Each structure stands twice: as structure tokens, then as C-alpha cells.
Amino acid sequence: MKAINTANISAAQQPQTSWQYLLSHCFTDPVSLAKFLQLEPEQLNFSAQASGEFSLKVPLPYAMRMQKGDSRDPLLLQVLPDPRELEHFPGFVTDPLAEADANHLSGLIHKYKNRVLLMLSGACAINCRYCFRRHFPYDDNKIGSQQWQKILRYIENDSSIEEVIFSGGDPLATSDQRLDKLITQLGQIKHLQRLRIHSRLPVVIPQRITDQLCQTLQKTHLQTLLVIHANHANEFDLQVTEALDKLKAANVTVLNQAVLLKGINDTVASQKKLHTASFAAGALPYYLFVLDPVQGAAHFDISDSQAQQLVAELQRELPGYLLPRLAREIPGKPHKTLLAI
Ligand code: SF4
């Protein structure tokens, strides 16, 4: 990872910069990020020790949507290593969803009926402080070519599997060529019906939605969904909208899932703006998750009853199609648990 040199990329050039360049040139040190945001480094509530455990990583297109001069910007607070991450809270653990129990094959998680999740890439374009996989052993779950053959056989041999979910890390951090090969091979499995991709890249580096990727997604006979991940209305801009337009033109259904985060989006007004902006950009609100109790993220937590009250108020503000389902994932349950209908 190279540190970003913003002098090399102006705001006007950024939309034309390749996604690979942006992915490999992120903000990784607080001084450059503070300078870019027109803040003094000491104005950032930054913990070097927390960053040592889960590093600061912010791509330029995302940083450009942060409000200059605002050390409490809601996009900044999602990615800034915070001293409170070092405190330990009972119940906040490294594997909050007990995914190790469903990790049947390296790179594959099979916890729900009819669906398998593949850890296509351990890399992310951005390090979100609340991430439930911030401690995930990605190195033990790499999918090389031999492992991919084992995964294909696993799916071929279980005709109950209807849907493959590409996850990570961020599955779109992998190349278009590799994705084309994997999707083509999956498309040859008769009982598969759907491909779902969970990715934060269309939001944080919208350039990732290339023509080649769209061609791959359009030509597969699998029904294809892409679930983006945005937690705040300010994460959407024209570039994100254009990226989602390209996906929809390739017959991809685009949904948004968000996490309810204290101090970021835990008011009715911010939730209303988020789901309205998501729909305007082309992504239908899907899930609003309460925080998974992952070690290092307790300062983002709000109680289930507060979340339920917030969504009850939100329901009065939004038409039904803009209201995401409030849910929690409970380890061992065969489905997500809805906290509000
Ligand atoms: S997996 Fe998703 S939520 Fe977690 S750090 Fe990566 S982009 Fe963020």
C-alpha cells in the first residue's frame, strides 16, 4: 500500500483515475488525511495503537466527500482509529457471528440454507472501524486455484445451493479477469440461480464499476444482485450514482445495507436522508443492521430498544419501500432476526 499523494490527483482528475491506482494509493497516515481535510493532526481523535491493530485506510474518492474542517464528519468517524477501540467490553469479541463454526472449507462459509458465502478477497478499499470481520483470519481463507476447484465441487455436490454470495473483505477488490472466470464457472452449475455480491467499492471507489465488470455481470444467466454498503447520505455523489446506473443497465439489482452507528446515523433525520439518498442514487434500502458486538467497536453501539424506537419513528417519515428491515444476526440462527417489521 502506497501512501496517497494528493498532489498527483486533482479533484478534476479523480473521476478518470483508475480504480486500481486509487485502491493502492489510500490515505494511511493521519497527518496526510488531516492536511487533506484542512485540519491540524491533533484535531483528529486518532489512536496510533488502534491503527496498529486495524490500520487507517481511506481511498481518495471517499475522503473527498468528507466535510473539510470538520473533525466530527460522519464519514471520517467511520474510518478514524479511535482510542476507545482499545477498551474491552463484556460480550464484544473477535468473532461476533461465530463464523468459524460455519467455515466448512477454507474460503467458504455455509451457514444459511440454499446459500453459500465465498471469501473472494481479504482486501478492502477502506477499513471501517465497526466491521464485524475486522479480526477475521483472511490469511487462512485465501482462495487459490486448487481451493477454487474444491469450492466448485462443494457447490456442484449440493443441489440445495441456489445462491452464491461473494463477500470478503471486498470481493470487487479482485480483478475483472478473475471475476469473469469465476462467474463463468459458477454459471455452469445447473442448480445455481443467483449470484449476490456484497461490496463497499461502488461507494468508496465508484470507478470500480468498469465496463468489463458490467459485461461479465450482464452475460451470466445467473440473476445478479449487488448489495452496496453506505451508512450516511453524504456517501452518495454523482460518481456513485453513475456507477449504480451502469450496474442497473447490466440488469443487476442494486440494494443498500447499512449499520446503525452511534454518532454517525442514529437519528431519524439522518436515517431519512440516508435511505432517500440511497434510493435516489439507485439502490433500494435493504437491511439496517444493529451493530455486531465486535471487539473494538463498542463505542458505536446503541441498544436494540433504541434502534426499534428509532425505526418506529422513521416508519412515519418514509414510504414502505424506503424503509430497510431492522435486523440483527444471531450466531447459530438459520436466518437474520428481524427487530422491526
Ligand atoms: S469488509 Fe466491508 S465493512 Fe468490513 S472493512 Fe471491508 S469494506 Fe468495511
What does the pLDDT look like over 274-301, one tens digit per residue? 999 999 999 999 999 999 999 999 999 9
Distance 208 CA to ligand 1 centre (A): 16
- Looking at the predicted structure, is the pLDDT value of residue 154 above 60? yes
Tens digit of each residue's pLDDT (9 = 90 or more) over 39-50: 999 999 999 999
Q: Does the Cβ of 111 fall within 6 Å of ligand 1?
A: no
Q: In angstroms, rounded to a whole number, what is the distance separating the alpha carbons of residues 174 and 176? A: 7
- What is the torsion angle, in degrees rounded to the nearest 10, for the CA atoms of residue 308, residue 312, residue 318 and residue 320? 80
Q: How far apart are CA 264 and CA 259, in angstroms?
A: 10
Q: Ligand 1 within 6 A of 168 CB?
A: yes
Is residue 120 lining ligand 1, measured as CB closer than 6 Å?
no
Min mean pLDDT across 29-38, 97-106, 224-233 is at 97-106
- C-alpha distance across the termini of the chain, in Å: 43
DSSP assignment letter at 259:
E
The C-alpha atoms of residue 265 and residue 78 are separated, in whole angstroms, by: 10
Lowest mean pLDDT among 3-7, 56-60, 71-75, 88-92: 3-7
Amino acid making up residue 37:
L
Give, in degrees to the nearest 5, the angle at Cα 128 between 122 and 132.
70
Q: Decide whether any atom of ligand 1 lies within 6 Å of the 133 Cβ.
A: yes
Task: Decide whether any atom of ligand 1 lies within 6 Å of the 131 Cβ.
Answer: yes
Find the helix or strand (DSSP H, E) in which 245 lies: helix 238-249
Q: Does 8 score more than 60 pLDDT?
A: no
Kindly state the greatest CA–CA separation across the chain.
57
Give the residue-averaged pLDDT of 224-252.
98
Q: What is the pLDDT of residues 88-105, one digit of tens each?
A: 999 999 999 888 877 879
CA of 201 to the centre of ligand 1 (A): 9
C-alpha pair distances (Å), 333 with each of 113, 136, 163, 301, 338: 11, 20, 19, 21, 12
**Pair 287, 323: CB distance under 8 Å:** no
Please give the distance, rounded to the nearest whole angstrom, from the Cα atom of residue 262 to the centre of ligand 1. Answer: 18
The domains of the chain, with CATH numbers, are 2-86 (no CATH), 99-338 (3.20.20.70)
Q: Ligand 1 pocket check: which of 131, 135, 294, 300 to mutate, most ligand atoms within 8 Å of Cβ?
A: 131
| 93-117: burial string, b at 16+ Cβ within 10 Å, e else | eebbbebeebbebebbbbbeeebbb
Name the residue with the closest Cα to ligand 1, atom 4: 131
Centre of ligand 1 from the C-alpha of residue 157, in Å: 31
**Atom of ligand 1 at shortest range from CA of 259:** 3
Q: Strand, coil or helix: what is 296?
A: coil
Whole-model pTM? 0.95
List Cα–Cα distances, 214 to 117, 217, 251, in angstroms.
21, 5, 9
**Ligand 1 atom closest to the CA of 198, numbered from 1:** 2
Angle made by CA atoms 260, 262, 264, in degrees to the nearest 5:
80
Asked whether the predicted pLDDT for residue 135 surpasses 70, the reply is yes
- Per the model's pLDDT, the better-predicted residue between 198 and 10 turns out to be 198
